[in-house]
Chains A and B, each alone.
Chain A
Amino acid sequence: MNRETLRDAPDGAETLDAMPALQIKGLNVWFNSARDRKHATESHVVRGIDLAIAAGERVGLVGESGCGKTTTILAAMGLLPASASVSGEVILDGRNIIADGESGIQPHRWRDIAMVFQGAMSAFNPVKTIGWQIQEALQFHDIASGAAAASRVVQLLGMVGLAEQDAQSFPHQLSGGMKQRAMIAMALACNPKVLLADEPTTALDVVVQDQILKLLVRLSEELNLALILVTHDLGVVAQTCTRAAVMLEGEIVEAGVVDDLYRRPQHPYTRSLFEATPNLADSRQGAEEVGTATGHLLEVTDVRTIYAGHRRVRKGATQTAAVDGVSLHVDQGEMVALVGQSGCGKTTTLHNIMGMLPVNEGSITINAQEVTTLTPRQWRALRRDVQMIYQDPYESLDVRFRVSDTVQEPLLIHRIGNSQAERMDMVNAALRDVGLAPEDYAQRYPHELSGGQRQRVAIAASLVLRPKLLLADEPVSMLDVSVRTGILELLDRLRHEHQVGILMITHDLSTAAKYADRIIVMREGRVVETGEPWQIIHAPRTDYTRQLIESVPSPDPRSRHVVE
């Protein structure tokens, strides 16, 4: 699939009625990695992209990490580093604005094309107020100055749902969602025709994500703004965009109306992406019966944890409990999902169970053994039975250890196995268990592995101890969509084959619904609802769960929100 086929296909440009607000034609970007001049290698990152967008239209640019989607929009703004070289056209008002290099784009920046960045956290100058930064854009582009500029700032903040006094705030005083709103307000300061949004909601919570997406849709409709939304999340595109282009390795492999992409994907890659994107509609019905003969494997009863952030606790005035009266249990061979927004206390609960964070009240038993009163030394022996899987596979392995060393380390720590040969047998068995052939992978270093493979190694390093309980902290959220399924299927198989109990933290309700036996919804340190997936999704008992469900972007464009 290449440019030839795309030209013949009824791609976006031809379906437009009006003249496009922005048109990208045959865009190519190369990066020169000049580590040293002799061995300069060139990588062709964007390969002949064609994309057009009309005023008031919203187009999604979708792809997995490294596919060149961010590079594409940076190229359109002329924001590429010096190591890049570009060919093609970016047409705005009938003129190719990149024809004269960076200086040619300069006058169009922010006035005609504005941008919202992925990391709203660090996109603001930390030492200036939000108002100052918005006003600066107005003044430099001669839109307004003085009192007029100040009132325009207030108006802009109002448009994105921020209060007047937020103009006086410094970036660090705003939450992630508020910062992203402020960023959008700043982007709209000069009435641009086109807004480029690079993963605008990636770092945000589902509920906040939903709000920001709705805001973007509303603004694009009200202001007749052309919006290009770059994202890896097909759900986000399905819920906000009219058309989308799917990128793979620098090329657009398929483009068209979102509904067509979902219902009739032409390219196998598009199909696999949609298949891998979890959908609430796929929730499991009825949990299997699991043996509970020996009582609960893990039982958490009325746990309360006060965050001893600083010395505040002693003063007593501002005691906030991160976890407040949480009870839950996990049985052998069972997978329980703990779902909630960030800051709801789900990670704290996990750390409590791991003994990494002391519990103020309540009890936690693992295999009927009370663990809240254990000393660090006593805990160490118990760690054989309780293992944790971490969120970030790029981070969770020591990069200097070969795969076999990483998997063998737990054995050495717990002095298991009498000889190197015996330990290597266990290591190989664990690697086979997670689907990695020892002969191919045992001697590799982490940087020679993909994200999914790294996560498998981390799981093998837990599995080698034959644990009874696995705690998984967002095990797939850092992975590309297409490899998530594999890891989740692996966990699912482990609990069946080895009767491991799994407690999985996730912010993603659809993943939980698909794989868990039970879902526990947490909010502000409390459990709001517990139930089987089907019941939680289709008959939520609390408003909060309903709100959470409604916030999950469905990959099906027609079901703007799966309910009922």
Chain B
Amino acid sequence: MTGPEAGKASAARRRSAWSGVGAALTRPAAIIGLGIIGFFLVLSIFAQWIQPYSSSTPSCGVFDPPSPAHWLGCDDGGIDVLSLVIQGGQVSMFVGFTSAGMAIIIGSIFGILSGYFGGWIDTVLMRITDYFIVIPQIVLMIVVAAVWGPSLSHVIIVIGALLWTSTARVIRAQVKTLRERTYIHRVESLGAGHLRIIWRHIVPQLAPLLIANAVLAVTVAIFNETALAFLGLSDPTAVTWGTIMEHAFDRNAISAGAWWAIVPAGLCVAAVIVGAYLWGTSIEDALNPRLRISYLSARSWRLRPLVGRGPDAL
């Protein structure tokens, strides 16, 4: 039993998962993040029509530096880098979003089941999660790609199949606390079935967390794709931001001084990841009530001089 004062103090923790998210999304960090993601999404969707030149046939000289005709110069095959990067964005974003989607689905099923039912279901599912967590992803991907051969679908499956663990843990923790909330107990004691409780009362509360998680998963997926591509484990015929960098490195763009063959793709990856990170953490921070209180801050309270006396002094 805690007093009314305590009830008030922790009222912030009890509000809906959605309250506060709206405000968080109007912060500059979230707006910048969303802007960046939106920009690259539009670029990817309309890639075919936006790219100035072909991304498969040469349109200029080998390692031509940037010029008014070719803003970002040319690569070792005389292909326009700007067109390559736009084309690569389409595939990279596709890989990122599909494998992140896969990870989120597996992760939330694991998380909800083990958080909601607890007991042996929880033990079994979390033990499985624990094993997946300690497997070094990149090494497993190397092995899988080497055994089954490099292809985009393998990359997507492997990334998705290993990325879900953190989502599962986060969702499980959240569901576990939701499960102990009084309103869930109350609905349960009304006689509601598990499906109704999960679907009507738990999942809606999870939604913002899932969105934040999905966005962050996209960053990791894109990251892993570039790493795999760099090791030659992605589809060698597909153009992605990863293969663009790999190709340039392989063809000695560095010793040729052709930084423009590397930098644009790298910056695009960084931009998408910064965007997704800013947006995802804005939601996450808004969801974490513990971040709202700080008993130690750089600034201190102010002393306000009293102007005049009497009731109007304030």
Contacts and interface: CB of A to CB of B under 8 A. Distances in A.
Contact of A394 (B7, B27, B305, B311): B7
Contacts of A392: 7, 182
B192 interface: yes
B303 A98 contact: yes
B250 to A, nearest CB: 49
Nearest to B18: A400
Nearest to A119: B6
Counting chain B CB atoms within 10 Å of each CB, the highest count among A35, A478, A479 belongs to: A478
Given A383-B189, A388-B189, A36 B26 contact: yes
Nearest to A354: B189
A447 B190 contact: no
Contacts of A282: none
Interface string A416-452: 0000000000000000000000000000000100010
Interface in B119-164: none
A118 B2 CA distance: 10
Contacts of B294: 81
Nearest to A80: B301
Interface string B202-234: 001100000000000000000000000000000
A78 B301 contact: yes
B204 A400 contact: yes
Interface stretch (A50-58, A64-72, A253-261): A64-72
B46 interface: no
A119 B295 CA distance: 15
Interface stretch (A298-306, A407-415, A509-517): A407-415
B182 A396 contact: yes
A233 B4 CA distance: 10
B237 interface: no
A390 interface: yes
B15 A82 contact: no
Nearest to A399: B16
Contact of A398 (B3, B187, B300, B301): B187
Which of B1, B8, B181, B196 has its CB near the most chain A CB atoms (within 10 A)? Answer: B1
A86 B304 contact: yes
A28 B181 CA distance: 37
B189 A86 contact: no
A99 B305 CA distance: 10
B56 interface: no
Contacts of B19: 399, 447
Interface in A350-389: 354, 356, 379-381, 383-384, 387-388
B312 interface: no
Interface string A76-110: 00111111111110000000001101100000000
A102 B300 contact: yes
Contacts, number: 156
A30 B304 CA distance: 9
A413 to B, nearest CB: 5
Interface string B191-207: 11100100001001100
Given A65-B8, A392-B182, 8 more contacts: A2-B311, A85-B301, A87-B303, A99-B303, A118-B5, A383-B191, A394-B14, A399-B16
Interface of A: 2-4, 26, 28, 30, 35-36, 44, 47-48, 64-66, 70, 78-88, 98-99, 101-102, 118-119, 199, 202-203, 232-233, 342, 354, 356, 379-381, 383-384, 387-388, 390-392, 394-400, 409-410, 413-414, 447, 451, 458, 461-462, 465, 474, 477-481, 507
Contacts of B299: 82
B191 A202 contact: no
A185 B14 CA distance: 33
Interface residues of B, number: 47
B265 to A, nearest CB: 36
B4 A28 contact: no
Closest 7 CB pairs of A and B: A383-B191, A395-B182, A202-B3, A82-B299, A399-B16, A65-B8, A84-B301
Interface in B292-311: 294-295, 297-306, 311
Interface string B11-50: 1001110110001001100000000000000000000000
A313 to B, nearest CB: 15
28 contacts: A4-B311, A26-B306, A36-B26, A65-B3, A81-B294, A81-B297, A81-B301, A82-B301, A84-B301, A85-B302, A87-B304, A101-B300, A102-B301, A202-B2, A203-B1, A383-B190, A384-B191, A390-B182, A394-B11, A396-B183, A396-B185, A400-B16, A400-B205, A413-B193, A447-B16, A447-B19, A461-B190, A479-B4
A474 B2 CA distance: 11
Contacts of B295: 79, 81
B11 to A, nearest CB: 6
Nearest to A83: B301
Contact of B1 (A70, A384, A474, A480): A474
Contacts of B11: 394
A458 B305 contact: no
B196 A413 contact: yes
A380 B16 contact: no
Given A26-B306, A102-B300, A383-B189, A202 B183 contact: no
Nearest to B300: A102
Contact of B314 (A28, A66, A451, A462): A28
Contacts of A413: 190-193, 196
A396 B186 contact: yes
A30 B191 CA distance: 47
A82 B300 contact: yes
A199 B192 contact: no
A85 B304 contact: yes
A28 B304 contact: yes
Contacts of A507: 1
A458 B182 CA distance: 11
